[in-house]
Amino acid sequence: MQISIENLSHAYGSVEVLSDINLTFEPGEIAVIIGPSGCGKSTLLRLMGGLEEPNQGASYLAGDVPDGCLNPLTYIFQDFALLPWRSVAGNISLVLEDHNLSKSQSEAIIADVLDRTNLSEFHDALPRQLSGGMKQRVAIARALAVRPAFLLMDEPLSALDSQTRELLMDDLVDLWARERFSACYVTHNLSEAVRLGHKVIVLSRRPGKVRGVVDIRMPLEERRERAAELEDVQQKLWQMMREEALAADRELANV
């Protein structure tokens, strides 16, 4: 399945957030959207997945939904969004309960996704007992449970400390190597962008426009070892963002 965004503009009141965005997201690859804070990248992600309605333009899905897909566009949130009163298994079962699955079917799905994310031993744990990294792994397991066609990841690692972030990046790379999932990944962190992105879309400061798209051809699995070669790409991305970030930093808040 492919997502295409066509002539999309959005404003909150008189503040224009996004202006004339045209993008396509191909299946089987991770597209990273980066930009300075307040450039509307999270808004773009919410508009893509139908959590908000754009003022102008639209985003379209092309192609068939894969077999067994319960929720084609599935989010992973920065703050994990786990229900604190449900166990790990309960949080995953939550998103299956509206789909008329039999008890054994949903139990099988839960066991499967927990296994794929190495969380089986945390089946009955409550979110408060888990570290931030574990919580985000549970959220990833929950997203996998509905067999999404596209994962929409809204700064999924930004609430974590840098060591945990490294570990989770490795996990995501492993997961992608096994499952070839499609994702749109929003972040402000350049090292995440060059580690995980097949292509990196740079947004400009408000109103957000597409400033450039950088393809990174190096296979994801090799990127940790060949970090030095990625340094150039990262520098290039930083040059594209630097002025914008500087200006964004000096801007007076008016929203």
Q: Which of residues 45-74 bind another protein (CB under 8 A)?
A: 49, 51, 70-71, 73-74
Tell me how many residues contact another protein (CB under 8 A).
Answer: 22
Q: Could you say whether residue 81 binds another protein (CB under 8 A)?
A: yes
- Residue from 11, 61, 95, 248 touching another protein (CB under 8 A): that is 95
Report phi then psi at 34, rounded to 5.
Answer: -120, 160
| Of 5 and 152, CB closest to another protein | 152
Nearest CA to 102 out of 142, 115, 147, 110 is that of 110
Q: Are strands 199-203 and 30-34 parallel, antiparallel or unpaired?
A: parallel
Order of all β-strands in the sheet with 56-62: 15-25, 2-12, 56-62
> Closest separation between CB of residue 77 and another protein, Å?
6
Is residue 207 a contact partner of residue 40, using CB atoms and an 8 Å limit?
yes
| Of 96 and 194, CB closest to another protein | 96
From 75-83, 156-164, 227-235, 240-248, give the range in contact with another protein by CB under 8 A: 75-83
Q: Could you say whether residue 128 binds another protein (CB under 8 A)?
A: yes
> Closest separation between CB of residue 133 and another protein, Å?
19
- Cα 166 from chain centroid? 16
Whole-angstrom CA distances from 70 to 120, 128, 237 are 22, 28, 36
Q: Using CB under 8 A, list all residues that contact another protein.
A: 49, 51, 70-71, 73-75, 77, 79, 81, 83-86, 94-95, 97-98, 126, 128-129, 146
